[in-house]
Amino acid sequence: MTPGTPVRRAPQMAHLWPARVGAFVLVILGFVPWAAWLPVGLEMPGLAAQLRDWTSGALLTAGIAGLAWLTSRRGHWPTTQAALTAHATDRVPAREARARYLVAFGSLILYAWVATAVFSRRPLLIDELAQLWQAQRFAEGRLWLPMPAHREFFSFLHLVDVSDRVYAQFPPGGPFMLWLGVAVGAAWLVGPVCGAVSVWLFARLARAAEPTASSRWVLGATLLFALTPFGVFMFGSYMNHVTALLWILVAVTSLAALTSDAEPACLPRRNALRALVLGLALVLAATIRPLDAFAFALPAAIWLVARAGRSPQRWMENVIAGIGVVIPFAAMMYVNQQTTGHPLRFGYEVLWGASHGLGFHAAPWGEPHTPLRGFALASLYQWRLQSYLFETPFPSLLLPLAGLGLAQRVSALDRYLLASSGLVILFYLLYWHDGFYLGPRFVVALLPALVLWSARVPRLVRDRVASPHVQRAVRAALAFGIVGAIVFNLPVRIATYRAGLTSMRVDYARTAETAGVTNALVFVRESWGAQLVARLWALGVPRSMTELVYRGTDTCHLEEEVTRLERAGLRDAAAVAPLHALLAQDSAFVVKSTMTPDPTERVRPGAEYSRTCLQRITEDRAGFLHYAPLRLVTTGGNIYARDLHARDSLLLAEHPDRPVYLLTRAGTRVDDRLVFLPLRRDSLAAAWRSDR
């Protein structure tokens, strides 16, 4: 054997089945477009173009690899195998620790730049808005607000306002993490800071997963995690997937450290601390995203119980972990009791009912969630990872697939991560909603396992492939993947994100201050459809029924029926019955309306529209805003309310001394400047009379 040549051990196949099962799942879910083929109502727009791009990218990558192989065969490759082998065995703990902190700090700068330059430091998705609104209430020392007298002016999606208390539908942990940012006046930094800490934790996880690897490999794996585009964009956002992933990584690294020690004669103090942190972190993650946390908690519990069964001294660690579970769980139950009225009931159950939960049943928006649809959703998430994970010219999941396929051993920690990742996929297969924002956001918790197996590919190729020429070809292909992501795909992704959701990026507080509008009653002109939805909520129509009626009826017919119900004072069940009749009348005939720029509005062909309905369409064409971002404005003393035309008189009577404005745009484009139009109360009354 040539000196310096790595020793290649025969893999123990009996212990490799978890990796092979993981590879099989990736192939079945990630490389077949089931969502486009199965009749489940899911769409995959641009599939043909995507396949063409991947084919050309894969061919180009293969060409680069072939050229590198040919160059190496002719002796023109600059690096020798001996040098690579020497670097493969170095390990300097002090240097590794310094590198870990430097990468985490650099990641913080990168994520803060993304939050600023790409997302304008604003919450852009309604989930982010609702959780930041709840964080602001926490900062005020409140868990909820009292129900306003006329909630239709102030409601927005994901805000629970069906009883005497108003609060966000999400578990309290996510808003609590944002509250830490609100408290220091920089809520936008919560994601970047949590992302940077996650990078530091991943470095510890990489070392635990590969205890014999070189410091260079750990640094490379950490850099890959820090720069993975799917994670980078998510870490720049307000999404609670980021804070949940942070606590999951705390739990996983604590579990790895706890299970790495030899059998003790008595419980070491450091293991007691690790067990406590493990329990705390898992439940803190559960207070943010219960499904993600349970996916990692269940295999951890099985592992610890099995471990304690082999060594009774370990039971005390499990007891201490249980103590860690109790503290945040008790806090979550207290918040739930104060908001939903039951310690184990969450806001989304109050808002959407039992149809919000896991399982195969009718979803809140009406469509049935079947096993076939669940499988298609699980496949769709993995298919999207092919693009969003690494943004490589070839399908991104080829990298972790190669790592799993080439694996020579699967450690206990690997088995745990694979089991937890499998549960994440299973749980979201059972969940009805298609979670898409900045990529397949429901599977963010897969990032550690996917990156870890991808980072192993160069080492596994070196250990499993004898030919140095093939090894160099693989390294060239990987290098081209990085270059292709940076040069071709990432600029397009960044431009797309920058151009999206522009109406959510406006600094409304500064706009009002510049216009000199303070202590005023400001009505915000939303689309006709958004107004109707809020009015239905105010009538006590359940959220799920509201979605069915709104999507299945002519918008003008709905306007007339809602107005009739309001004038008759009918609410709750008395309001739902006539709406069922309207839905039965229209649902088989309505199509998307082409008379208005709001794509959610419906029209029944041949229906005659009243003067009021035609006026609402004219207003939509003149431009409209989104009301929800105005609920986050806490300065200036203004009351921002949804414009509901004649019903605005209810708020005018409540605030007789405030000046009144209508907030609108100077034109019809979404980037036209905002205008505060001063309104006269007597003129409004005259206009409302003529509108009847």
pLDDT digits (tens, 9 = 90+) for 605-623: 999 999 999 999 999 998 8
**Model confidence over 582-599: pLDDT tens digits?**
999 999 999 999 888 988
What mean pLDDT do residues 392-411 have? Answer: 95
Is 448:201 a contact under the CB 8 Å cutoff?
Answer: no
Residue 10 has pLDDT above 60, yes or no: no
CA 5, CA 466: separation in Å to the nearest integer? 9
pLDDT exceeds cutoff 60 at 89 = no
**Among 188, 184, 133, CA closest to 159:** 133
| Banded model confidence at residue 73, pLDDT cuts 50, 70, 90 | confident
pLDDT band at 15 (very low <50, low <70, confident <90, very high): confident
Write down the pLDDT at residue 49.
Answer: 92
DSSP secondary structure letter of residue 362: B
Core vs surface per residue 184-193: b (16+ CB within 10 A) or e: eeebbbbbbb
How much is the pLDDT for 669? 79
pLDDT at position 264 is 54
Phi, psi of 676 (to 5 degrees): -95, 105
Nearest-angstrom CA–CA distance, 461 and 463: 5
pLDDT band at 88 (very low <50, low <70, confident <90, very high): low
Q: Considering only 4-13, 24-33, 321-330, 383-392, which range has the smallest mean pLDDT?
A: 4-13
660-665/674-679 β-pairing:
antiparallel
CA-wise closest residue to 200 among 239, 241, 235, 240 = 235
Give the model's pLDDT for residue 11.
47
The Cα–Cα gap between 423 and 235 comes to: 23
Residue 692 pLDDT > 70, yes or no?
A: no
Is the pLDDT at 87 greater than 70? The verdict is no
For the residues of 207-252, what is the DSSP string, one character each?
Answer: HHH-TTS-HHHHHHHHHHHHH-HHHHHHHTS--HHHHHHHHHHHHH
Q: pLDDT tens-digit profile of 160-170?
A: 998 899 999 99
pLDDT of 95 > 90? The answer is: no
Among candidate residues 634, 496, 664, the one with its CA nearest the CA of residue 133: 634
Q: Where residue 511 falls among pLDDT bands split at 50, 70, 90?
A: very high
- Please indicate whether residue 129 or residue 469 has the higher confidence score (pLDDT): 129
Round to whole Å and give the CA distance between 267 and 275: 11
Q: With cut-offs at 50, 70 and 90, classify the pLDDT of residue 1.
A: very low
pLDDT digits (tens, 9 = 90+) for 223-278: 999 999 999 999 999 999 999 999 999 999 999 999 986 545 456 778 889 999 99
Is the C-alpha dihedral spanning 420, 425, 429, 434 positive or negative? positive
Distance CA 519, CA 185 (A): 22
Q: Is residue 691 scored above 90 in pLDDT?
A: no
- State how far the alpha carbon of 193 is from the alpha carbons of 57, 109, 129, 628, 632, in Å: 34, 9, 19, 26, 22
Assign 3-class secondary structure to 289-326: CHHHHHHHHHHHHHHHHHHHHHCHHHHHHHHHHHHHHH
* pLDDT of residue 148 exceeding 60: yes
Give the pLDDT of residue 266: 53
- DSSP 3-state of 641: strand
Whether 396 shows a pLDDT value over 80: the answer reads yes
Query: What is the rounded average pLDDT of the residues 103-124?
Result: 97
According to DSSP H, which parts of 543-680 are helical?
543-552, 555-568, 573-586, 611-621, 648-654
Beta bridge partners, 678, equal 661
Q: Look at residue 564 and tell me whether its pLDDT is greater than 70.
A: yes
Q: What is the predicted pLDDT for the residue at 94?
A: 79
Assess contact for 222 and 253: CB atoms under 8 A: no
Which residue(s) pair with 521 in the sheet? Answer: 639, 660
Q: What is the mean pLDDT of the chain?
A: 91
Retrieve residue 425's tokens. Answer: 């996929």
Give the distance from CA 602 to its chain's centroid: 29
Pairing of strands 521-524, 660-665: parallel
The enclosing H or E element of 647 equals none
pTM greater than 0.85 (yes/no): yes
Reduced to 3 states (helix: H, G, I; strand: E, B; else coil), residue 681 is helix
Distance, in Å, from the CA atom of 652 to the CA atom of 658, rounded to the nearest integer, reads 8
Q: What is the DSSP string of 428-470?
A: HHS--S---SSS-GGGGGGHHHHHHHHHTHHHHHHHH---HHH
The answer on pLDDT for 336 being more than 50 is: yes
Write down the domain spans for the chain.
22-78+361-500, 95-352, 506-526+625-692, 529-621
Q: Strands 521-524 and 639-642: what pairing? A: parallel
Here the tokens at position 228 are 């993975």
Amino acid at 141: G
Q: Under DSSP, is residue 676 helix (H, G, I), strand (E, B) or coil?
A: strand
Mean pLDDT over 299-307 rounds to 94
pLDDT over threshold 60, residue 405: yes
Burial class (CB within 10 angstroms; exposed 0-12, middle 13-18, buried 19+) of 196: buried
pLDDT category, 78, cuts 50, 70, 90? low
pLDDT reported for residue 3 = 46
Residue 686 pLDDT exceeds 90: no
pLDDT at 689 over 50: yes
Q: What is the pLDDT of residue 77?
A: 65
Number of Cβ atoms within 10 Å of the Cβ of 409: 11
Q: Which H/E stretch holds residue 636?
A: none
Distance in angstroms (rounded) separating the CA atoms of residues 65 and 470: 8
Q: Stretch 137-156: mean pLDDT, rounded?
A: 95
